Amino acid sequence: MGAGSNPMWHAMNLAQGIYGSYTAAYGLTPSTHPLTGTYTRNYDSVAVAPWLWNPEKKVFLSTEDEQSINTKADYVMNQEIGGIMFWELAGDYSCYMLDANGNRTSIDTTENACKTGNGEYHMGNTMTKAIYNKFKSATPYGNKIATGAIPTEALDIAVAVGGFKVGDQNYPINPKVTFTNNTGYEIPGGTEFQFDIPVSAPDNAKDQSGGGLKVIASGHSRANNIGGLDGVMHRVSFSLPSWKSLPAGGTYELDMVYYLPISGPANYSVNVSGKDYAFKFEQPSLPIGDISAGGGNGGGDGGQCVTTGLNTYPNWPQADWAGTPSHANQGDKIIHNGVVYEAIWWTNSVPGSDSTWSTVCKI
């Protein structure tokens, strides 16, 4: 049966004792499979939930209807929540009048036809329309994208989130967050970026791209979440490698890792030469900042390829249990054929030979 085993239009028919005409498609007739017992509607004002109970069959059906959905829509507006998600659209109902042959005709918005034996419920839009009408009349609630202070100027930096793994590789959650510099000016190496992620995920987000991403302000401010979480966002931070600027038109790919689904990220900012800037696509009304004078060295090294203290392959920076140099750990750098490479994670492959390495600089 469409919309799951018990779409709401079927439940509405059961509550009215209506033997829906659609049951014929399943080989059911009142004579061969009569309705047994009565499905009585109940309602709990605390749970804001209706349900049907058939004492003869001992059958309980949880349901949704116009009364409960209106109450939930009111709650969304009163709590200044962004909206409602529901599953699924084909389960919504309307009351249809029946002609002399028992065929559905026009919709009876009063539902009197279904309550007097002259109609039946089927796929419709009663609850969807109720939500729409509630939200259409709602006043703007003034929520902002940020939980903290918003910078006074913005930069044109675009963000794309994608590359989510599927199947058995989909955990931990590991998307690619790509930052594109559309400012027209180079952003120096060492520049710090920040953004928010919802507290639906733990406060242990990280990255695998050498950006040092970490949570700098946790929304989980208590030892447990009894009564709900105090905060709504974690604030995270990462920095461009000190040796790697982001040129005008260039991109930086952050290989992010987190452990429960989130919406977002959101509320991006970047600190250039000691000043915080919002991102234009999130704050289009802010004036565009001027970084034409450069952002200082951003903690960088003046563009030099620093090799001080680095080993040369095959003299690995890390040793095995016997003390023999054997591998590199995440973040370790090593010289090979006149190039400095950095390990993205544990590796013992030849530097620069595969995706476990990123190029730092040429000597």
Tokens encoding 75: 């709650």
d(CA 52, CA 286): 53
**Dihedral angle of Cα 220, 222, 224, 227, to the nearest 10 degrees:** -90
Which class for 94: exposed (0-12), middle (13-18), buried (19 or more C-beta within 10 A)? buried
Domain harbouring 215, CATH code? 2.60.40.290
pLDDT of residue 244: 85
User: Which residue in 179, 176, 195 sits closest to 187, CA to CA?
Assistant: 179
Q: Is residue 298 included in any domain, yes or no?
A: no
Which pLDDT score is estimated for 1?
Answer: 41
Angle, in degrees to the nearest 10, between helices 126-136 and 66-78: 30
Q: What is the DSSP letter of 266?
A: E
Q: What is the pLDDT of residues 45-58, one digit of tens each?
A: 888 899 999 999 99
Distance in angstroms (rounded) separating the CA atoms of residues 26 and 22: 8
In which domain, by residue range, is 346 found? 311-362
Same domain, 179 and 115: no
CATH of the domain at 321: 2.10.10.20
What is the edge-to-edge ordering of all strands in the sheet holding 357-362?
311-312, 333-336, 339-343, 357-362
The C-alpha atoms of residue 209 and residue 246 are separated, in whole angstroms, by 15
Contact of 122 with 98, CB cutoff 8 Å: no
Residue 297, pLDDT score = 36
The string of pLDDT tens digits covering residues 170-201 is 899 999 999 999 998 999 989 999 999 998 89
170 with 241, same domain?
A: yes
d(CA 6, CA 126): 17
pLDDT in the model for residue 143: 66
162/272 same-domain check: yes
Task: Examine residue 145 and state whether it is found in any structural domain, yes or no.
Answer: no
* 207 in the same domain as 98: no
- How far apart (Å, rounded) are the C-alpha atoms in residues 189 and 244? 5
pLDDT in tens, the chain (363 residues): 444 557 999 999 999 999 999 999 999 999 999 999 999 999 998 888 999 999 999 999 999 999 999 999 999 998 878 788 888 888 999 999 999 999 999 999 999 999 999 999 999 999 999 999 999 988 877 666 677 889 999 999 999 999 998 888 889 999 999 999 999 899 998 999 999 999 889 999 999 988 999 999 998 877 776 666 778 899 999 999 888 889 889 999 999 999 999 988 999 999 998 999 999 999 999 999 999 875 433 334 444 677 888 999 999 999 888 889 999 988 889 999 998 888 888 899 999 888 788 887 888
- Assess if residue 200 is contained within a domain: yes
Same domain, 215 and 268: yes
Rounded Cα gap, residues 280 and 301, in angstroms: 29
DSSP 3-state of 71? helix
Residues 251 and 209 placed together within one structural domain of the fold: yes
Given the DSSP bridges, would you call strands 275-279 and 154-155 parallel, antiparallel or unpaired? Answer: parallel
Domains contained in the chain, number: 3
Q: What is the DSSP letter of 90?
A: G
Same domain, 185 and 116: no
Cα dihedral 96, 98, 103, 109, rounded to 10, equals -10
Q: Do residue 173 and residue 272 come from a single domain?
A: yes
H, E, C per residue of 168-223: HHCCCECCEEEEEECCCCCECCCCEEEEEEECCCCCCCEECCCCCCEEEECCCCCC
Q: Which helix (H) or strand (E) holds 10?
A: helix 8-16
Are the C-beta atoms of residues 177 and 161 closer than 8 Å to each other? yes
Paired tokens of 235: 């604030």
Question: Are 124 and 231 in a shared domain?
Answer: no
**Amino acid, single-letter form, for residue 339:** V
Give the 3-state secondary structure of residue 317.
coil
Question: Cβ distance 64 to 8 under 8 Å?
Answer: yes
